[in-house]
Structure formats: C-alpha cells, structure tokens
Amino acid sequence: MSHDIQQQLKSLRGKLHEHNYRYYVLDEPVISDAEYDALFRKLQKLEIDHPEYVTPDSPTQRVGAAPLKEFAEIQHEIPMLSLDNAFSVEDVLAFNQRILDRLKTISSVAYVCEPKLDGLAVTLHYEKGILKNAATRGDGYTGEDVTENVRTIASVPLHLRGSDYPEVLEVRGEVYMPKKEFELLNKRAKEKNEKIFVNPRNAAAGSLRQLDSHITASRHLAIYCYATGVVKGKSMPDTQWEMLLALKSFGFPVSPEIKLVTNIDACLRYYDKIMHKRDTLPYEIDGVVYKVNDMHLQNKLGFVSRAPRWAVAHKFPAEEVSTIIEDIEFQVGRTGAITPVARLQPVFVGGVTISNATLHNIDEIERKDIYIGDTVIVRRAGDVIPEIVSSIKEKRPQTAKKIKLPKHCPVCHSHIEHIEGEAIARCTAGLFCPAQRKEAIKHFASRRAMDIEGLGDKIVDQFVDEKLVATIADLYELTLEQIANLERMAEKSANNLLQALEKSKKTTLPRFLLALGIREVGEATAKQLALHFGDLKALTAATEEDLQTISDVGPVVAKHIVAFFSEKKNIHVIEKLLAAGIHWEKIKKSASLPLSGKTYVLTGTLQSFTRDEAKEKIEALGAKVAGSVSAKTTAVIVGADAGSKLEKAKSLGVTIMNEKDFLKLFV
Ligand code: 5U1
C-alpha cells in the first residue's frame, strides 16, 4: 500500500515538473491551466493524507515557510558583478574596439545578445541537483539569504532535470515581476489604500525581501537566468550560448529573446529589434546586454573593478518629461564649490518623483540657456541622477528671470571667486564659511576617513550652528554636557558619540590624510602618499617635484598638497589633532612593501582580474607569484575551476585564499 502511494506521488510530481518545464522554460504547454490545477490538487490531497512522504522539492512546496526575524547573510564565493552601461551607438562601438585592441589578433567578435530585465539579481545554489539556497546580490560580495522566498517562484526549479548537471552549480539571473502582476498588485493596493509600487523593479525587490515568504508567494514573481557562479564536479560549456542552452536543459528559464550574433553590427540590429518589441514584452526591460560568446576570450579580457570587460548593457534612451524651474538655489560644497540646484515643479520620471536637479555650474546654465520660470526637459535613465537637458524657449514666460552667479556666498556672504576658464566658482572664505566647515567635518567623520559612528549630518550642523565646533580638531574637545545639550540628543547617544570619538583616535595614516580633506586627495592618493612618505612629517616637507614622482600625483594635485601644508592654520589644526591623541601604526615605506617576502600561487579563474592583472597587483605589493605550490608558499589564491594546485596546497597545509580574501590584500 505505502509503496503504491509513493509510486502515485512520484508519478504526479514527475508530471507536474514536466508541465512546469514545458510552461516556464520551453513556453510550450501541452495541457490547459485547469488540467494542471486538477493534477496539482490531486497531489496536494495525497500529501495531506500522507505527510510523511512530502519532499522539499515537491511542486506543492512553494507556498511559503514560517516568517523569519531577519535575513541571514550569504557570502558569494565568486562576486556578483555589475555591468558597465553604453548609452549610444558610439559607446557600443568603443566597447567593441576596446575588446579588439586587447585581443589584438582577432578582427571581429561573436556576441550573445540578451534583453536586460529591470528586476533584481539573485544567485541560486544547487547541490546534487537540489536547490539549497538563494541569495540577493547585496554589495556583490555578501547578499541576503532569500531561499524561502525564491522557493515560492514557480519558474525556479527546485530540482534539476536529467543527470548531466555539475554536482555543485550556482546559477545567476534576474527575478522580475511580470507587467500584468504589477498592475494587478497596484490595483489591489489602491483599493485597500495600501502602498503603491512605483515600478515593477521596486515591486519585485519589495516582494522578494519579505520576511514572510507567504507574501512573496502571493506576488507571482518570475526569473530568467543568464550566468553561472561556482561550478564543481563537471565543467559547463565554454561559450555563453552553449552555457545558456545547458541551463535551459537543466530546467532554468532562459529568455526566449537571446540571440547569438557574429559581430557588433548585428548587436546594434538586435537592439533596434528589441526596442521596437519592448512594449509587447510581458516584462519591463531597460536595455539589452551584449556578452562575448567565447569564455576563453572572456577570461583573457577579465574585469575592471566590478564590471567585466567582455559585457556591456546597452541602455534604452532615458525617459524625458517637461516641468518648470521654480527657483535656483546655490549650494556650497566642502571645497567651497558653488553648485546651482534647480527646484522643480515635482514631476514623475523614470519611476520616481523628482523635485530637484543639479545644474553642476554656472557655465552649464549659460550653455543650456536656462531661466527661472522656464519649462525644461528633465531626463532620468535607470538609477542615474536626473538631469536637465534643455529649456523650451517658446514657452519662456515674460516674467522669466535670468540666473546670475551670486557675488557673495549664500551662507557666509564672503566673496565668490570665478577664475576665468574654470568651470567651478568658489566661496573664498575656506573654513570660515560655516557651509564649508560643516562639509569638512562631515567628510572628516565619514566611514572611509575617521569613521566616527553617530556623528551624522544633523549633529554636525548643530555643532557648527551652535559654534561648538569651528575646526575638525574641536571635535575632540567636546564634553558630554555639550553633546547632550543638543536638540533631540539623549544622554546615551551623547555617551556613544564620545566613545566613537575616542575610538576614532586610533586610525591609519591613509585614513587621516583622506580625512584632512586636501583638494583632489581621495582614498587611492592618500594610500599612495602614506606608502611613499611613510610618515606625516616627510609628507608635509615634500615639494611639488617630490610629490610628482608618485604615479597618482600630477601637477595639480601636487600643488593642492603643497598649498595645504603651507597654510599655518592647517598645520595648527593637525597639531591639535595629534595632541588630542590621534595616532596610527608606523607605516612601512614603499621600499619595504606590505607583502615583501611572501610568495603566492594563483589557480583557477578569478572574476575580478585576469591572471596577469592579479600577478601585477601582487607584485606591486612586493610579493612573488610562483607557478607551483611548495611548503614555502604563503598562500594559494583559488578561483573557479581550480585544479591540482589546490589539492597540493591542501595536502601541504598551505593557506588557501578565495577571491574575497585575495581582494582584502589590497584594502
Ligand atoms: N541579461 C542579463 N542581465 N544581466 C545582468 N545578463 C546579465 N549579466 C549580468 C547582469 C548583472 O552580469 C554578468 C556579468 C554575469
């Protein structure tokens, strides 16, 4: 009897899986929805009668699990990358040319073209063909564990078809909300006076990040897959096209719009075709993606920061609408730069309502011929900051007002300097201007600089407005009473802030240099300065010529650095900071580089760099890169599809580093 039941369950599940596959992957259903529902109910009933035989990958197990308190974190063994954007034909041709230049011997490249869905990226992890977990992209290195939610997506296979799949297989794709579902969801929300989602992408993200997966289940999300992550036990095909076909054969939905083409001109034809089809597609897309088909070439091309050189997203033209400029305000930045910001009549564009747009500088206002009162075209592409494209002169009212750069700073009323030939005008008061002071203190406290937790913008504004803090050094003289007396500041928070200030005193030289806010000195330059000079004293004494021997430092940056340290007031502030107890560990100068004496071995394919790039980076820090593993090897750096070197490292007990650990060497 029990054997009979198990057979029935197996047969019903098999049938439902097959119909799912035909419906979601092949787009060729052979039974009606009613017939599918009847089979589903039959299975449900049998499982209710025999709960001991319910399996986690049964088609009935997609209704949601017990609500979570919070999402756990999942580390991506291979980082989840983003794509560079191309906004014009020229951008696309330049992308292709960069590839040809790098590959040298090849005259044209075959690409796979795919629609770019406006959803959110996820990664699905399968072991022995069973879905084990699923995570969001997060910051590319760590995502949220959304397994229970992803299990409710009908087109995500809970187990894979056939037996040809690798033992461990990570598949990446885009979760999206079909347009119809989105409309239905908002219609219901409106009726119930609930939150309306601005676009299908936000709706998909909001639905996938529900702690109660029953809610996700009710939202009918879908997925298209386009890449693999970790693969173990069997290799995947070595072209993007064959890889997508393999994914399809394992049961993953792959967009039916994908196309293999032989050159970049065909990519552009694909773009036109998909753009014309865009409105008829059942999901939102914001462009198309071109990927080099041959994965050996992909590996040769590698990555720049977090985006592959072998792929690009060719975006559709941004949405444009018109609105009215109600006013222009001039904001003062950390270095005194005066930025005009347009206050707009609120307008809905590209999925959000906007009421401000930066105009960058006064020259741009002149060039675009913009007056207060003008009707202007506003453009917003994807998540890019909105921009004012142009004014419509025919609509200019009699009362329109010409915009002039103010002569005096709107905050401190000091003189504004606009040097001929320079785009940026600046308030000349330096740190005597409260606006610049506030921005300088915010920069000093920021995460990558002194990392003073709890010192938010509003608190800084109050410190400066109440005249408690004039320079960054004054922060370390604040008393508990002064802090606790601020508006809306509880004693506990005041205490926490004092502790955070104390904690920040232990820092590093690169952080301190960044925190000083020297013009044009960002994180990378601060690191190079610290490595080159080793201590602050040597840096303060450096000439422009000395500084220009550093690869990142050109004449302009060198001038800014020398000017900064020639200013008595700045030296006084630095002395006060050091007297307050700010300190750092002695840094090793470039002559004794951070990894000197160490030996690394690379194996497998890294996502962030080609082999050559990785080698260059390691050597730049003073280490050697060896071809084979021995007991003397410091560590083996392991990418995807690692081979015998990994085994050898294990047998010798040599440290094994994954890509994430490797990237930390450069932090
Ligand atoms: N169609 C498609 N969308 N998309 C997004 N392909 C694709 N590839 C991506 C992303 C982020 O990343 C690759 C680098 C795997």
233 CA to centre of ligand 1 in angstroms: 24
122 CA to centre of ligand 1 in angstroms: 11
Final residue before a domain boundary, out of 287, 310, 333: 310
Q: Is the pLDDT of residue 433 over 80?
A: yes
Ligand 1 in reach of 113 Cβ (< 6 A): no
Final residue before a domain boundary, out of 283, 310, 337: 310
Q: Whose CA is nearest to atom 11 of ligand 1?
A: 82
Contacts of 148 (CB under 8 A, 6+ apart): 64, 65, 68, 213, 216
Q: Whose CA is nearest to atom 3 of ligand 1?
A: 116
Q: Do 234 and 116 fall within a single domain?
A: yes
- Whether 414 is in a domain gets the answer no
Please name which of 176, 387, 381, 385 lies closest in space to residue 287, comparing C-alpha atoms.
381
274 CA to centre of ligand 1 in angstroms: 17
Q: What backbone phi and psi angles, to 5 degrees, belong to 583?
A: -150, 165
Among 53-57, 466-470, 611-615, where is mean pLDDT lowest? 611-615
- Whether 76 is in a domain gets the answer no
Rounded Cα gap, residues 304 and 310, in angstroms: 10
Q: Which of 111, 112, 116 to mutate for ligand 1's pocket (most ligand atoms within 8 Å of CB)?
A: 116
- Whether 437 is in a domain gets the answer yes
Handedness of CA 383, 387, 390, 396 (dihedral sign): positive
pLDDT of residue 667: 63
Q: Whose CA is nearest to atom 15 of ligand 1?
A: 227
Q: Is the pLDDT of residue 1 over 70?
A: no
Ligand 1 in reach of 244 Cβ (< 6 A): no
Catalytic residue among 116, 315, 438, 617: 116
Q: Confidence class of residue 327 from pLDDT cuts 50, 70 and 90?
A: very high
Q: Report the CATH number that the domain containing residue 468 is assigned in CATH.
A: 1.10.150.20
- Whether 10 is in a domain gets the answer yes
Q: Do 199 and 119 fall within a single domain?
A: yes
Final residue before a domain boundary, out of 471, 504, 537: 504
- Whether 438 is in a domain gets the answer yes
pLDDT of residue 446: 94
pLDDT of residue 589: 66
Q: Do 400 and 496 fall within a single domain?
A: no
18 CA to centre of ligand 1 in angstroms: 28
pLDDT of residue 528: 83
Per the annotation, the verdict on 458 as an active-site residue is no
pLDDT tens sequence across 170-199: 999 999 999 999 999 989 988 888 888 878
* Contact present, 12 and 39 (Cβ < 8 Å): yes
Q: Confidence class of residue 386 from pLDDT cuts 50, 70 and 90?
A: confident
**Residue range of the domain that includes 458:** 430-504
Q: Do 568 and 616 fall within a single domain?
A: no
- Whether 130 is in a domain gets the answer yes
Q: Confidence class of residue 155 from pLDDT cuts 50, 70 and 90?
A: very high
Q: Do 575 and 474 fall within a single domain?
A: no
Q: Do 144 and 246 fall within a single domain?
A: yes
- Whether 292 is in a domain gets the answer yes
pLDDT winner (highest mean) among 256-270, 310-324, 406-420, 518-532: 256-270
Q: Do 116 and 215 fall within a single domain?
A: yes
453 CA to centre of ligand 1 in angstroms: 35
Ligand 1 in reach of 176 Cβ (< 6 A): no
Q: Is the pLDDT of residue 544 over 80?
A: yes
pTM of the model: 0.60
pLDDT tens sequence across 467-497: 999 999 999 999 999 999 998 888 899 999 9
The total of structural domains in the chain comes to: 6
Q: Do 458 and 382 fall within a single domain?
A: no
Higher pLDDT, 381 or 282: 282
End-to-end Cα spacing for the chain: 63
Ligand 1 in reach of 227 Cβ (< 6 A): yes
Rounded Cα gap, residues 43 and 185, in angstroms: 29
3-state secondary structure of 176: strand
- CB-based burial label for 521 (10 Å; 0-12, 13-18, 19+): buried
- Ligand 1 atom with the smallest distance to the CA of 172 is 15
- Whether 25 is in a domain gets the answer yes
Q: Do 166 and 247 fall within a single domain?
A: yes
Higher pLDDT, 620 or 444: 444
pLDDT of residue 542: 94
Q: Do 184 and 209 fall within a single domain?
A: yes
Q: Do 132 and 244 fall within a single domain?
A: yes
- Ligand 1 atom with the smallest distance to the CA of 226 is 6
Higher pLDDT, 360 or 374: 374
pLDDT of residue 402: 95
Q: Whose CA is nearest to atom 8 of ligand 1?
A: 226
**Could you tell me whether strands 655-657 and 635-638 are parallel, antiparallel, or unpaired per DSSP bridges?**
parallel
89 CA to centre of ligand 1 in angstroms: 20
Mean of the pLDDT values across residues 25-49? 87
pLDDT of residue 305: 67
- Ligand 1 atom with the smallest distance to the CA of 307 is 14
Handedness of CA 36, 42, 45, 49 (dihedral sign): negative
* Contact present, 659 and 605 (Cβ < 8 Å): no
Q: Do 187 and 160 fall within a single domain?
A: yes
Mean of the pLDDT values across residues 8-37? 88
